[in-house]
């Protein structure tokens, strides 16, 4: 055990954690809206729209995240037309490519979580709203969405942790996130176990925090069924 290495690499890894957190929060933020959007599409009665939303979530849940990042980072740059548009400003940056890939990925999982949450809402609750003369729009925003958010909290907590682990793939497109820096230190010092303990410890700490925040929120928003 090389404790000196563990101590000297800790601040470097902590700095890289900031990149991980930035990637995570950005993709979760955009992914939540994307997920909500596609979950609403899934509830649409139009078969074509429904199939489109299903296809999106099927493709992104059925392929590895690594493939998705590579298609966006290496693949899209190949299209000549894209290079002339303003999109190229975003797509040439590995940072934004990673965020786009993570957003699309977490959006697919989030849409499934929210869809099943919407579907488990008892029809009686919606009927009660209707019989009170509340408009469909308000029923959706004030009744369905809050209940769906509460229902999906445990599953969404898991998704946040999965996404946090997913951000480690950013290191494959040259970003120096926590895993990227850990790999760099391992490959220069050849001390994998020490670095793994420190980097893994930081990841576990983040998992612990996320887990407890979700648990707290679950308790706070719990209601009698």
Partner 1 sequence: MELLAFGKTGWGDELFYATLMTIAVSITAMLVGFFFALIFTPLKLSKYKTLNLVGNFYTTVIRGVPELLVIYLFFFGGSGAIMYVASIFGYYEYIEINAFITGSMAIGIISGAYSTEVFRGAIQSIDKGQFEAAKVLGINKFGQFYKIILPQMLRLAIPNLSNVWQITLKDTSLISVTGLVEIMRQSYIAAGSTRDPLFFYSFAAVLYLLLTYVSMKLINKLEVKYSRGY
User: Does residue 50 bind partner 1 (CB under 8 A)?
Assistant: no
> Measured from the CB atom, is 29 or 74 closer to partner 1?
74
> Measured from the CB atom, is 144 or 167 closer to partner 1?
167
What is the signed CA dihedral for 97, 101, 107, 112, rounded to 10 degrees?
A: 180
Tokens of 202: 């930081």
Using the CB atoms, write b or e for 87-121: b if 16+ within 10 Å: eeeebeebbbbbbbbbbbbbbbbbbbbbbebbeee
> Measured from the CB atom, is 103 or 144 closer to partner 1?
103
User: How far is Cα 122 from Cα 113, in angstroms, rounded to an integer?
Assistant: 17
Residues 158-177 that bind partner 1 (CB under 8 A): 161, 164-169, 171-172
Identify the burial level of 159 via C-beta atoms within 10 angstroms of its C-beta, where 0-12 means exposed, 13-18 middle and 19 or more buried: buried
Contacts with partner 1 by CB under 8 A: the residue count is 40
Residues 172-211 that bind partner 1 (CB under 8 A): 172, 179, 182-183, 186-187, 190, 192-193, 196, 199-200, 203-204, 207-208
CA neighbor of 96 nearest in space, from 35, 175, 17:
175
Least Å distance, CB 147 to partner 1, is 26
Q: Which residues bind partner 1 (CB under 8 A)?
A: 58-59, 62-68, 70-71, 74-76, 78-79, 161, 164-169, 171-172, 179, 182-183, 186-187, 190, 192-193, 196, 199-200, 203-204, 207-208
């Amino acid at each position: 055990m090389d404790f000196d290495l563990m101590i000297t690499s800790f601040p470097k890894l902590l700095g890289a954690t900031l990149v991980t957190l930035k990637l995570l929060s950005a993709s979760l933020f955009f992914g939540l809206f994307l997920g909500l959007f596609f979950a609403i599409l899934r509830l649409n009665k139009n078969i074509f729209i429904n199939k489109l939303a299903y296809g999106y979530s099927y493709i992104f849940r059925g392929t590895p995240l690594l493939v998705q990042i590579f298609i966006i980072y290496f693949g899209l740059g190949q299209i000549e037309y894209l290079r002339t548009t303003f999109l190229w400003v975003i797509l040439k940056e590995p940072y934004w490519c990673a965020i786009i890939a993570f957003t699309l990925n977490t959006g697919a999982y989030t849409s499934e979580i929210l869809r099943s949450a919407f579907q488990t809402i008892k029809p009686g609750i919606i009927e009660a709203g209707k019989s009170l003369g509340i408009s469909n729009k308000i029923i959706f925003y004030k009744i369905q969405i809050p209940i769906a958010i509460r229902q999906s909290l445990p599953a969404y907590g898991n998704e946040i942790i999965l996404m946090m682990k997913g951000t480690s793939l950013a290191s494959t497109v040259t970003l120096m996130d926590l895993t990227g820096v850990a790999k760099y230190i391992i490959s220069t010092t050849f001390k994998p176990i020490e670095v793994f303990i420190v980097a893994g410890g930081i990841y576990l700490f983040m998992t612990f925090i996320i887990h407890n925040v979700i648990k707290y929120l679950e308790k706070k928003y719990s209601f009698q069924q």
